[in-house]
A and B are shown apart, each in its own frame.
Chain A
C-alpha cells in the first residue's frame, strides 16, 4: 500500500476516527483505525461497536491496500505533523509515514477481524438541516441519565411528526424537550439514540452545512454527513410517556430576563453546598425572584431577579445545575417559569418560543 495525501484532511479524519475507536478494546483491532486505499481516496473506519464512522479523504494512491493502525498513535502523530503533504508506504507490517519534517513507522495490526459497519437500507429515512439537528440534540442531550440502570434514559428520544422533529431526554430529575422544523410529512417512529453516541453525532455536525439524510431501522441509525458516514446502535426500549407529566395548569407564573437569571445562578453556584442547593422564592409582592444559596463552610449569598409574576408566592429549592442547564438551552431574551408549589416540577420555557421546554424537580426538603 502506498499513498500521498493532504495532512490537514488526514489529520481531521484521523482525529474523528480516533474518537470512535474503542479505548480499552478486548479485541485489539477495535482500538485501531482501518485505512483502506482504493480508487483515488482513502477510507478511514473506526468503531467501538456502539457507534462507528467511515470517512473518505481524497488521496493519490500509489498501490491499493488495507491496513489497521492503533488509533491513538496514528492520530497523535498526525496531530503534531507539519507541512502540507504526507506520504505513506506499507513495508512488511509496518506503515512508514513521512512528512516534510518527520518520519514515523507504525506497527500495524492484523485487520482481518475488523468489523464491517452496519448499513441501513434507505427504506425509512428523513432529511433535516444539519443546523436544526444540531440544535435539537444540543438542547436535550445533557439531560440524559448517566446511570446504566435504565438504558432508555441513557438515550435521547427522537421522533418526527408532520413538519417537525422532536428530541427529548431525561434522567428522571429533569427533562428537556425540543422540536425543530423539518421538511417532509413522513412520520419518524420513536428512536432511542444512546446519549454518548448522540454527543458524537453533535460533534460531527459542527461545520456541516446543508441537509443531512438520516436512515434508520429498528436497531440502527445512520447518517451521511458530506464525507462522513456515521452509524449508531439504537436502544430497544420504551421512553417514558413524559407528555403526561407536563403540567397544564399552574399556580404561579413568572417571567424573568434569561441573562439576569442565569448570571444570578452562576454567582450563587459559588456559595452552593455540596448538593448545589439553591433556593428560589417567587415573591409577587416584591415583583421579584429571590434566590439564595448557603454553604455552612463558605457563607451565603442572596440575589434578586426582577420578575413579572402572576399567581401565588412559592418557595422551592433546586440543584443549581439543573436550573442552569435548562437556561443554557434557551436563546430568547426572557424566560417563563411555571410552578405548582412545593414538591411539583418547575416548568421552564422560552417566553417567545414554544419549541422548547424544560422540567426540573425541586429538592425535597
Chain B
C-alpha cells in the first residue's frame, strides 16, 4: 500500500505529512518512517486531513496536537489526547466534527470517546523505564578523558550476521570485563564498523560504570604519545607509563600500525602484560588477522591469540538495508523503501560507502525539498560514480562463471541438462538479472534461445537457494568479485 501511495501522490502526501508533522509534533520523517502504518493510524490521519479543512489552523494545531487512536472496540474509537484540557475541549467543541469525519471514513464507527494518554511517540515502555539514578555529570571534559566519541553506542549499532559474533563477544566483555575474552580483538576490512563496535564497549562502560577508567586511542596516538614522552625524558616517560597503566579498559584501534616500530612494540608489549596481568580489559581492532601482519613479533601475536580474535565481514543485504535505514533515521529523514533497497543492493561491502551514498541523497533531498524516487537515486549515484557497475557483456559473465566451475563455455549455450552445467547456467541467469538488470527474454535469447519462463524459474531457484546454501553464497560472492 505505502509504496503505491508514495509513488502515486508524492505531492499530496508531502503536503499531508508536512501538515501532520506540524500538528502532531512528530518530525516529518517520523511520520513517513512508520512504514508499518496500522490501519487505525491511517484512519486517524485521514480524519485529521478532513478535520483540518473544517477547523481554523490555530485551533487545529492547538487541540489536535499529539492526538491518536488508542484502540477501536465494537465500533467505539478511543481517542488518546494529551491532557484533560484537550479532552474537555475536544469532547465539547469538536466532538461532532470528529465523529462525522471518522464515520465518513469508516462505516463501522459508532461512537468516539476520549482518553488521556501521552501517545505512542513517547512510548509507554520508554516512559516507564526507570532511569538509573544520578550517575554522571554532563561535562564535556569527562568525554575528553576517555577520548570516546559518544555517538558510537550499541543502541545505534546495526547487528547482523556479518558482525553478530563480534557483537556477542563485546557483550560478554561488558558483562565480565577482564574475565570473558581478554584481549578482544576485532578484525576486518575498513569501513565495517569496527571502530563503532569497540567504542560502543567503551561508551557502555563510561556510562554504566563511571568509576572505571576507560581510554580509547588509535595505535597512532599511542605511538605519538610515546615518542613525545621519549623526547621529554625521564619524568615524561614515567608519566606516559603511568597514564596508560591506570586504565580499567583500554581500547586501541588499528593495531596493525604498530608493526615495524620496534621500540613502540616493546612498550606496547609491556603495557599489554601489565594490564592483562592485573585483569584489566583490553580491546583491539585491526584490519587483518594478526597472524598475517608482517613485522609483528610472535610474542605479541600469541598474546592476541590468548583472548578472542573475531572477524567482521562485509554486511549482507539485509544488514545493509538495516544500516541505511538507521543512518537515514539518524538524519531524521526516511526515504521510500525502494530507494533504500536500491542503495543496499547496489552498494556492497563497505558501510562507509553506503553512508557516503546516503549523504549524497540527503543533500539532494535538502536541495529539492521533495522526496526522491528510485530513478532519482539511480541517476544521482550513477552521476556521482557511486554505483559504478561497469557494463558487462553477457559472454563475459558466461566466461567467468564457466571458468569458475571449470566447464567449457560452450556447454552453457547448449541444450544439455547435465547437472554440472545446469547450476552454473542458472547462476549466470541469476547474476545477469540481479546484478546487470538484463530483461528475462534477452537473457533467454542470449543463452542459447531459451524461453523467458525458464530464466524466471532459474532466477527464483537461485534466489531461494541462496538463503540456505552457504557454499552457493560463497561462490556467488567470489564470482561477483571476479566480475568487478
Q: Which A residues lie at the B interface, using CB under 8 A?
A: 25-28, 30, 47, 49-50, 52, 113, 115-118, 150-153, 170, 172-175, 218-220, 233, 236-238, 240-242, 244-245, 275, 319, 342-343, 345, 359, 361-364
Contacts and interface: CB of A to CB of B under 8 A. Distances in A.
Contact of A150 (B58, B131, B135, B137): B131
Contacts of A47: 85
B118 interface: yes
B62 interface: yes
A238 B59 contact: no
Contact of A233 (B85, B133, B134, B141): B85
B127 interface: yes
B186 to A, nearest CB: 27
A238 B127 contact: yes
Contact of B118 (A27, A30, A236, A275): A236
Given A115-B85, A343-B211, A361 B136 contact: yes
Contact of A361 (B61, B93, B127, B135): B135
Listed residue (A170, A363, A364) with the most chain B CB atoms within 10 angstroms of its CB: A364
A306 B83 CA distance: 52
Contacts of B135: 172, 361
Interface in B131-147: 131-139, 141-142, 145
Contacts of B137: 173, 319, 361-364
A240 B137 CA distance: 17
B122 interface: yes
Interface residues of B, number: 33
Contacts of B62: 26-27, 30, 49
B273 interface: no
Contacts of B130: 238, 240-241
Contacts of B136: 172-173, 361, 364
A173 B122 contact: no
Contacts of A25: 58
A218 B133 CA distance: 25
Contact of B127 (A175, A237, A359): A237
B134 A359 contact: yes
B130 to A, nearest CB: 5
A258 B137 CA distance: 25
Interface string B119-132: 00010000110111
B86 interface: yes
B131 A236 contact: no
Contact of A245 (B83, B92, B133): B133
Interface string B98-134: 0000000000000000001110001000011011111
Contacts of B59: 27, 113
Interface in B50-92: 58-59, 61-62, 83-86, 88-89, 92
B84 A118 contact: yes
B89 A116 contact: yes
Contacts of B142: 363-364
Given A241-B130, A361-B136, 8 more contacts: A28-B58, A52-B85, A118-B84, A151-B127, A172-B134, A173-B137, A233-B83, A343-B210
Contacts of A343: 210-211
A266 B83 CA distance: 42
Listed residue (B58, B117, B137, B142) with the most chain A CB atoms within 10 angstroms of its CB: B137
A293 B222 CA distance: 32
A26 B61 contact: yes
A240 to B, nearest CB: 5
B141 A49 contact: no
A51 to B, nearest CB: 10
A331 B2 CA distance: 63
A108 to B, nearest CB: 17
Listed residue (A172, A174, A342, A363) with the most chain B CB atoms within 10 angstroms of its CB: A172
B138 A173 contact: yes
B136 to A, nearest CB: 7
A120 to B, nearest CB: 8
Contacts of B133: 170, 172, 175, 240, 242, 244-245
Contact of A364 (B89, B93, B116, B145): B145
B134 A170 contact: yes
Given A118-B84, A153-B131, A345-B134, A364 B210 contact: yes
Nearest to A319: B137
A152 B88 contact: no
Contacts of A240: 130-133
Contacts of B116: 218-219, 236
Interface in B348-390: none
A122 to B, nearest CB: 16
Contacts of A50: 83
A29 B403 CA distance: 79
A118 B127 contact: no
Contacts of A359: 134
22 contacts: A26-B58, A27-B62, A47-B85, A49-B85, A49-B86, A150-B131, A151-B127, A152-B127, A172-B133, A172-B135, A174-B134, A175-B134, A220-B84, A233-B83, A240-B130, A240-B132, A245-B133, A319-B137, A361-B137, A363-B137, A364-B142, A364-B210
B46 to A, nearest CB: 23
Nearest to A233: B83
Contact of A237 (B86, B117, B128): B128
Contact of B139 (A30, A52, A152, A275): A275
Contacts of A364: 136-137, 139, 142, 145, 210
Contacts of B84: 118, 219-220, 233
Contacts of A170: 133-134
Contacts of B132: 240
A172 B133 CA distance: 6
Nearest to A153: B131
A28 B59 CA distance: 9
Contact of A27 (B58, B92, B128, B131): B58
